[in-house]
């Protein structure tokens, strides 16, 4: 994306959050190859019809990066988090058990649903959320 190229990336993991499908790049489900091929072909056909389409997606990618993923933004968030953690640690005199509870709570609120949405291959079948 930072190279100003249209980006096609798996919907699973970080790129699922980074890319806005159709605006700053495209999501591809690696478990559905036919749909991925259709998406790529469709993109290039649209670029052939509308020469500005490539540039539109590329500019959307740069805009997304500048809005969400610059080093300045990252460092500001990191400093805020470290300040909150440092203050909380100072006030509460956290020991390892309390820290573990806090991290478990954070995991439960933030990452559990994301983790459960990732497909898992079991005996040649795809399972999501423990279903087969």
CATH label of the domain that carries residue 44: 3.40.50.2000
Let me know if residue 75 belongs to a domain: no
Question: Which helix H or strand E contains 13, and what residues bound it?
Answer: none
Q: Is residue 38 part of a domain?
A: yes
| pLDDT of 66 higher than 80 | yes
CA distances from 23 to 40, 104, 118, 125 (A): 15, 34, 23, 32
**Is residue 129 situated within a structural domain?**
no
Instruction: Please give the model's pTM, rounded to 2 decimal places.
Output: 0.55
Residue 132's pLDDT band, with cuts at 50, 70 and 90, is very low
In the chain, the number of structural domains is 1
Would you put residue 96 in left (φ > 0), alpha (ψ -120 to 50) or beta? Answer: alpha
Q: Look at residue 40 and tell me if it is in a domain.
A: yes
Six token digits for residue 12: 């699973």
Residue 83 lies in a domain: no
Q: Which residues of 21-43 are buried (b: 16+ CB within 10 A; e: fewer)?
A: eeebbbbbeeeeeeebeebeeeb
Q: How far is CA 42 from CA 18, 31, 85, 102, in A?
A: 22, 19, 47, 46
Q: Is residue 64 part of a domain?
A: yes
How confident is residue 17, by pLDDT bands cut at 50, 70 and 90?
confident
What is the domain range of residue 63? 1-69
Tell me the torsion sign for CA atoms 79, 85, 87, 93.
negative
- Give domain status of residue 103, yes or no: no
Is 56 a member of any domain? yes
């Amino acid at each position: 994306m930072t190279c100003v190229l249209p980006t096609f990336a798996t919907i699973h993991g970080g790129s699922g959050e980074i890319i806005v499908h159709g605006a700053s790049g495209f999501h591809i489900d690696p478990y559905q190859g036919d749909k991925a091929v259709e998406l790529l072909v469709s993109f290039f056909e649209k670029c052939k019809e509308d020469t500005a389409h490539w540039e539109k997606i590329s500019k959307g990618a740069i805009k997304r990066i500048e809005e969400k993923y610059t080093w300045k933004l990252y460092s500001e968030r990191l400093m805020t988090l470290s300040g909150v953690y440092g203050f909380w640690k100072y006030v509460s005199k956290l020991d390892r058990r309390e820290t573990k509870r806090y991290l478990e709570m954070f995991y439960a609120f933030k990452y559990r649903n994301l983790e459960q949405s990732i497909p898992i291959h079991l005996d040649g079948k795809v399972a999501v959320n423990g279903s087969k």
